[in-house]
Amino acid sequence: MVSQPIHKTALVTGGNKGIGYAICQGLLNAGFDVFLAARDADQGRMAVESLSAESLSAEGKPARLIVLDVADDESIKAAASSVAQIAGSLNVLVNNAGIYPDGGVDILTVPREVLTQAMNTNAFSPLRMTQAFLPFLEKADSPKVINISSGNGQLEGISANVPSYSLSKLALNGATILLADSLRPKGIAVYAMCPGWVKTDMGGASAPRSPEEGADTAVWLATAAGMAESGNFFRDRTQQPY
């Protein structure tokens, strides 16, 4: 009897550009069926088209677009039902979408709206996404949640000059620990990672890393890490202190 290839599925938020796009590419190259989630349908469509010129899944399929604003619970619900219509399970959820809204403020001046926006997008959205996609993760083989955090979220890396971003990534790291503990009995691994300083719209032109280099640890966690690594923080495929 010929055994059927096992196709794994992954969903990457903020997949239309930057590190998220490179993670989609890396996961397609690793044989995953990829849901590229983008909040702007046109941007998402363009990303899917440009990806399919470069990378396809193991079955030769392009990434599929899911329109998703991670800061909007209704949008998350709609995205979950779109995924449900196509795939019964999800092996990997990559919470990559993020914002860096601290221009011109520091810890002494940052206004509430900026704090709220950063916390909502960078910390609460990955948590709400994990809650919403839990039924699909529970049905998958070796399910994983990968939270794209930052060195600014490590206790030694928080910066008064990027206050809302640092606090939001610190909170995301905390959510990673709590989710990993809660999901361990279900066999679902949860990781946080820093991609390094990456040349993207967020990282700017002076950053030393390419998006592909920034995506490398996420692809490694998706393909090679297991339950033993769950709950930990990584950079360059190496565990780091929170």
Euclidean distance between CA atoms 20 and 111, whole angstroms: 28
**Quick one: which of 10, 12, 16, 176 contacts ligand NAP (CB under 6 A)?**
16
Tokens of 140: 């998958």
Nearer to ligand NAP, 197 or 220 (CB): 197
**Near ligand NAP in 209-238, by CB under 6 A:** none
Nearer to ligand NAP, 88 or 116 (CB): 116
Euclidean distance between CA atoms 33 and 73, whole angstroms: 24
In the complex, minimum distance from the CB of residue 40 to ligand NAP, in angstroms, rounded to a whole number = 5
Query: Does residue 79 interact with ligand NAP by CB under 6 A?
Result: no
**Quick one: which of 39, 45, 184, 235 contacts ligand NAP (CB under 6 A)?**
39
Euclidean distance between CA atoms 22 and 197, whole angstroms: 14
User: What is the residue type of 143?
Assistant: P
Query: Does residue 70 interact with ligand NAP by CB under 6 A?
Result: yes
Interacting span for ligand NAP (CB under 6 A) from 49-57, 63-71, 106-114, 232-240: 63-71
Nearer to ligand NAP, 91 or 96 (CB): 96
Query: Does residue 99 interact with ligand NAP by CB under 6 A?
Result: yes
Query: Does residue 76 interact with ligand NAP by CB under 6 A?
Result: no
Q: Is 191 a catalytic residue?
A: no
In the complex, minimum distance from the CB of residue 212 to ligand NAP, in angstroms, rounded to a whole number = 12
Q: List the one residue out of 160, 127, 38, 136 whose CA is nearest residue 80.
A: 136
Euclidean distance between CA atoms 217 and 224, whole angstroms: 10
Could you identify the residue written with the tokens 């329109």?
Answer: 67
Q: List the one residue out of 108, 98, 100, 104 whose CA is nearest residue 164.
A: 100
**Residues 149-168 vs ligand NAP: string with x where CB under 6 A?**
-x------------------
Instruction: Find the helix or strand (DSSP H, E) in which 92 lies.
Output: strand 92-95
Query: Does residue 201 interact with ligand NAP by CB under 6 A?
Result: yes
Number of residues that bind ligand NAP (CB under 6 A): 30
Contact predicate 47/16, CB 8 Å: yes
Euclidean distance between CA atoms 92 and 222, whole angstroms: 7
Nearer to ligand NAP, 41 or 178 (CB): 41
CA–CA distances in Å: residue 76 to residues 130, 134, 159: 10, 12, 31
Euclidean distance between CA atoms 195 and 211, whole angstroms: 9
Tokens of 41: 């349908």
Question: Among all residues, which ones are annotated catalytic?
Answer: 165
Which residues contribute to the site for ligand NAP (CB under 6 A)? 13-14, 16-20, 39-40, 43, 68-71, 96-99, 121, 148, 150, 194-195, 197-198, 200-203, 207
